[in-house]
């Protein structure tokens, strides 16, 4: 069982901690994330068991600025399958990442040509063959490929197939590429929107990144801009930013390319605003520091960053309006907002930032940027006192004044005629304002059994907000299981808007005396010990009748058969009317098989097995029986 003190700590800390670490969608891909992608590609290069992984690792590492050794060329030539267009594509793409790795075009000509010409090839296979042909310097009949792509579009309209079609068109002429580039807006409309701020395609990050890259490749070949609505572009960027880690090298490669396209100044650049400073703003940390970068954490040029407003979440009160941030770095990636003021009350705030470029460029994400912060204050505990009062005579009170963080040195005795009272106030250090906190508890821990009892401290109405805890040893005796002895008393105070919480030991020698006899306490450590084994008790068999009774009833059951046999021997059995032939023989054999099956059902088989066998036996039984009855009827008619 979890210790109550640990549980209390979790209750105080977790809400605060979770708010602080809650990630905002679309935050900058930091250096740690780039290192993670690099590490994933480097790990892929250590295992060269398959060609696709080698291709994506080499190409991904190069996208991030790492040139791989030329020795991988031998692995490429060893792993390539000359009869498979996809394998040839991966080989040629991997070879392109190296400076001196050359592949013989003649070794692969027949395979890529037959794949392009085959009516059974998929859109992906066409792309692999066309791209491999371009890499090998082989000529491609662009018009024939276009016709093939148009035919495939009628049978496979999946988003992945359309993405491969765009990638293929990017390898052909500018005119063909322009035709496909005009379809980008239609493909964007097919994306699924998640929570109003993400766009993705069915198939996850791998499919979404591949299709997104296809937009840029085909538009670049057509010499036209990518026609995506800025709001939709931001949603794609948000989706990619949430993918901190991906499972496959293929996804990592296309994700890296997507980040580069969104960070390239030739295209529309997604601007990302993220908080660099702590979420806490106070006298020691008065400023909010933000970074303004692209998705790769690189500078996007000088910006005018303005805090349009800072609103308190509790009531929407605006505490900052139209305040410009100051640039704090030479590359214009870091900006500072002086936020803390004694007049700003503690609490949670949302800062709305807008950006205005001071250089030429096409940007998205300049508005609707929000930063969450909380204003915290230092607090002190004042006017704390511990009192022991007679429960029947309120005038008899013994009060001990307390000063944080000092504990009482002597013993404090409380018996069942008395009650324990603790009072205190929480005051803001800067403003001398009495505060109401989210959580305030009094913990009493038995020093012998370590059992803890926790009471909630409640604040009185009024401006002074005095907290009070009252423990009556008569009415609350069950909470302590009537365990007399020495207790440690601690005061726990926590709030998300306090710089630090309080855990104040008031005394470690509070002597409690209860009237009733002690109730044995269960040591919490023994709750996890092995319990006695549970042995299943089967119901005892009911009494059976004597064997004589069973034999008598069995004999009575067999009596009709015995009478039949006696009559056959006495009167005689007439077998002359039994016709000869296959049908009578088959009927009697099948009929006997049914009786045999009943015996096996009684001894060995279950109902379902018996029904299956009976279904098989009933077929010849029906056919032979029908023929036998027909024969008997014909014979009877002939005699008549």
* Sheet (strand 485-494) strand order: 412-415, 502-513, 485-494, 439-446, 452-456
> What is the residue-wise DSSP string for 538-607?
PPPPPPPPPHHHHHHHHHHHHHHHHHHHHHHHHH----TTS--SHHHHHHHHHHHHHHHHHHHHHHT--H
Six-digit token string for 345: 């009350």
Q: How far apart are CA 234 and CA 283, in angstroms?
A: 36
Please give the pLDDT value at position 113. Answer: 94
Q: Which CATH class is domain 272-375?
A: mainly beta
The answer, yes or no, to whether residue 14 has pLDDT greater than 60, is no
Neighbouring-strand partners of residue 452? 445
Please give the pLDDT value at position 565. Answer: 85
The answer, yes or no, to whether residue 580 has pLDDT greater than 80, is no
3-state secondary structure labels for all residues of 277-337: CCCEECCCCCEEEEEEECCCCCECCCEEEEEEEEEECCCCCEEEEEEECEECCCCCCEEEE
pLDDT confidence band for 49 (50 / 70 / 90): confident
Percent of residues, the chain, with pLDDT higher than 70: 92
Question: Residue 389 is inside which H or E element, if any?
Answer: strand 379-390
Residue whose C-alpha is closest to residue 468's, from 501, 426, 406, 515: 426
Cβ atoms 624, 583 nearer than 8 A:
yes
The answer, yes or no, to whether residue 22 has pLDDT greater than 60, is no
Mean pLDDT of 492-521: 85
Cβ-in-10-Å burial (0-12, 13-18, 19+) of 142 comes to middle
The answer, yes or no, to whether residue 6 has pLDDT greater than 70, is no
Q: Can you list the alpha helix ranges (DSSP code H) found in 137-183?
A: 142-155, 159-169, 174-181
Q: What is the pLDDT of residues 165-211, one digit of tens each?
A: 999 999 999 999 999 999 999 999 999 999 888 999 999 999 999 99
Please give the pLDDT value at position 56. Answer: 93
Cβ atoms 383, 396 nearer than 8 A:
no
The answer, yes or no, to whether residue 281 has pLDDT greater than 70, is yes
pLDDT confidence band for 630 (50 / 70 / 90): confident
Please give the pLDDT value at position 583. Answer: 85
In terms of pLDDT, which residue wins out, 466 or 18? 466
Q: What is the pLDDT of residues 379-394, one digit of tens each?
A: 999 999 999 999 887 7
Mean pLDDT of the chain: 87
Name which of 91-95, 260-264, 392-396, 582-586 the model is least confident about: 392-396
Name which of 115-119, 194-198, 575-579 the model is least confident about: 575-579
In terms of pLDDT, which residue wins out, 470 or 30? 470
Mean pLDDT of 330-355: 90
Q: How far apart are CA 74 and CA 91, in angstroms?
A: 11
Q: What is the pLDDT of residues 405-453, one digit of tens each?
A: 999 988 999 998 899 999 999 998 888 889 999 999 999 999 988 889 9
Q: What is the pLDDT of residues 202-245, one digit of tens each?
A: 999 999 999 999 999 999 999 998 989 989 999 999 899 888 78
pLDDT confidence band for 526 (50 / 70 / 90): low
Cβ atoms 260, 60 nearer than 8 A:
no
Please give the pLDDT value at position 392. Answer: 82
Please give the pLDDT value at position 32. Answer: 42
Q: How far apart are CA 118 and CA 145, in angstroms?
A: 11
Q: Which CATH class is domain 30-267?
A: mainly alpha
Cβ atoms 469, 422 nearer than 8 A:
yes
Q: What is the pLDDT of residues 613-627, one digit of tens each?
A: 999 999 999 999 998
| pTM of the model as a whole | 0.68
Is the domain defined by 379-519 classed in CATH 2.70.50? yes
The answer, yes or no, to whether residue 3 has pLDDT greater than 60, is no
Query: Residue 370: which residues within 8 A CB-CB, separation 6 or more?
Result: 24, 350, 351, 352, 353
């Amino acid at each position: 069982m979890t210790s109550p003190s640990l549980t209390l700590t979790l209750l105080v800390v977790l809400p605060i901690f979770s708010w602080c670490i809650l990630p905002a969608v679309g935050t900058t891909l930091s250096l740690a994330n780039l290192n993670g992608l690099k590490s994933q590609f480097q790990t892929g290069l250590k295992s060269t068991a398959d060609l696709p992984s080698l291709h994506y690792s080499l190409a991904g590492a190069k996208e991030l600025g790492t040139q791989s050794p030329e020795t991988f060329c031998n692995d490429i030539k060893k792993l390539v399958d000359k009869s498979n267009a996809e394998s040839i594509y991966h080989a040629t793409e991997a070879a392109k990442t190296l400076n001196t790795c050359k592949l013989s075009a003649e070794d692969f000509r027949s395979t890529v040509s037959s794949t392009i010409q085959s009516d059974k090839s998929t859109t992906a296979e066409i792309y692999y063959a066309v791209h491999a042909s371009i890499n090998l310097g082989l000529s491609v009949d662009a018009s024939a490929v276009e016709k093939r792509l148009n035919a495939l579009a009628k049978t496979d309209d999946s988003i992945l197939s359309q993405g491969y079609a765009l990638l293929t068109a990017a390898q052909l002429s500018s005119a063909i590429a322009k035709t496909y580039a005009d379809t980008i807006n239609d493909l964007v409309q097919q994306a699924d929107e998640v929570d109003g701020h993400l766009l993705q395609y069915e198939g996850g990050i791998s499919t979404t990144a591949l299709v997104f890259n296809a937009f840029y490749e085909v538009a670049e070949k057509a010499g036209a801009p990518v026609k995506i609505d800025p709001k939709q572009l931001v949603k794609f960027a948000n989706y990619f930013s949430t993918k901190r880690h991906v499972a496959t090298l293929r996804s990592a490669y296309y994700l890296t390319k997507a980040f580069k396209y969104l960070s390239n100044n030739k295209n529309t650049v997604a601007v990302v605003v993220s908080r660099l400073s702590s979420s806490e703003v106070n006298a020691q940390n008065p400023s909010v520091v933000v970074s303004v970068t692209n998705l790769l954490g690189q500078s996007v040029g000088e910006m005018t960053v303005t805090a349009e407003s800072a609103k308190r979440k509790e009531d929407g009160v605006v505490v900052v309006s139209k305040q410009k941030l100051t640039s704090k770095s030479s590359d214009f990636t870091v900006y500072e907002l002086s936020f803390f003021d004694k007049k700003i009350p503690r609490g949670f705030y949302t800062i709305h930032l807008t950006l205005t470029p001071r250089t030429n460029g096409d940007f998205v994400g300049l508005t609707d940027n929000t930063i969450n912060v909380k204003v915290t204050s230092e607090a002190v505990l004042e006017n704390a006192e511990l009192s022991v009062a007679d429960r029947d005579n309120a005038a008899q009170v013994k009060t001990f004044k307390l000063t944080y963080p000092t504990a009482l040195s002597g013993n404090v005795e409380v018996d069942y005629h008395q009650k324990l009272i603790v009072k205190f106030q929480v005051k803001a250090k800067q403003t001398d304002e009495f505060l109401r906190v989210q959580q305030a508890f009094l913990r009493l821990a038995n020093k012998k059994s370590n059992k803890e009892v926790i009471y909630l401290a409640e604040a009185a109405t009024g401006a002074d907000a005095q907290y009070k805890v009252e423990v009556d040893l008569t009415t609350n005796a069950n909470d302590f299981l009537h365990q007399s002895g020495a207790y440690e008393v601690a005061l726990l105070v926590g709030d998300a808007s306090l710089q630090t919480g309080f855990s104040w030991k008031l005394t470690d020698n509070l002597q409690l005396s209860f009237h009733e006899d002690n109730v044995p306490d269960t040591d919490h450590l023994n709750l996890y010990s092995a319990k006695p084994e549970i042995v299943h008790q089967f119901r005892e068999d009911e009494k059976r009748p004597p064997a004589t009774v069973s034999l008598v009833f069995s004999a009575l059951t067999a009596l009709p058969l015995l009478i039949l046999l006696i009559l056959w021997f006495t009167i005689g059995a007439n077998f002359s009317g039994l016709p000869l032939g296959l049908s009578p023989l088959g009927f009697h054999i099948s009929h006997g098989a049914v009786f045999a099956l009943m015996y096996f059902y009684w001894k060995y088989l279950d109902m379902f097995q018996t029904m299956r066998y009976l279904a098989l036996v009933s077929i010849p039984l029906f056919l032979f029986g029908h023929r036998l009855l027909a024969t008997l009827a014909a014979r009877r008619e002939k005699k008549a």
